Amino acid sequence: MIANSAGFESDPTMTLTDRYAEALAFTCEAHRGHVRKGTAIPYVSHLLAVSGLVLEHGGDEDQAIAGLLHDCVEDVGVHLREPIRERFGAGVLAIVDGLTDAVTQPKPPWRERKETYIEHLRTAPLPVLRVCAADKLHNLRCIRADYRVHGPALWQRFNAGPADTCWYYSAVTDTLAAAGAPDGLVNELRDVLAACAAAGVFED
């Protein structure tokens, strides 16, 4: 392992194969027309960012692919589970399943769903923890950046308000840390949480 330009450890022998390119095409098709909440930004931008963070923080190709695919089952449909298994393997599907907090429609109530997901993370394997931490870090960075532009009006986009969102990200961060998620991701999550609190992002 060596430190990359961002100061994180990565495997210098790990290369991405055609599977990654195929996963990117699969992701773009699955999320065609989807945008980030309250914006015109293609949703795939988030998935690319998560996958990149996974790679920067020591993830292998399966984990990087799961970063691309992590919202497919939850947001697009359970019918994608078998195509994911067939095209990218049981290991990738296991990570995607570990990152999916609901597959039923309608979804359970927000707080119940999030509490169940946090409990699941307590015993989740490292690949799931790594991709989860990357996902939450990018989401939180976006919340902070959008708050600078939109202020409290930002919260009109979300199902949960600022207090519940603060609870969720704080609880996830603490759970990830206790479960053994990569320190670099956990430390960045704590830094962004602190910056959000200092800027009043989570104030009602």
**Distance set, CA 13 to CA 2, 42, 60, 112 (Å):** 10, 32, 10, 42
Q: Are 180 and 129 in contact (CB under 8 A)?
A: yes
Measured distance CA(66)–CA(47) in Å, rounded = 9
pLDDT tens per residue, range 65-91: 999 999 999 999 999 999 999 999 999
Q: Is the pLDDT of residue 204 over 90?
A: no
pLDDT at 105: 77
pLDDT tens per residue, range 179-195: 999 999 999 999 999 99
pLDDT tens per residue, range 31-55: 999 999 889 999 999 999 999 999 9
Residue boundaries of the structural domains of the chain: 2-198
Question: What's the CATH code, domain 2-198?
Answer: 1.10.3210.10
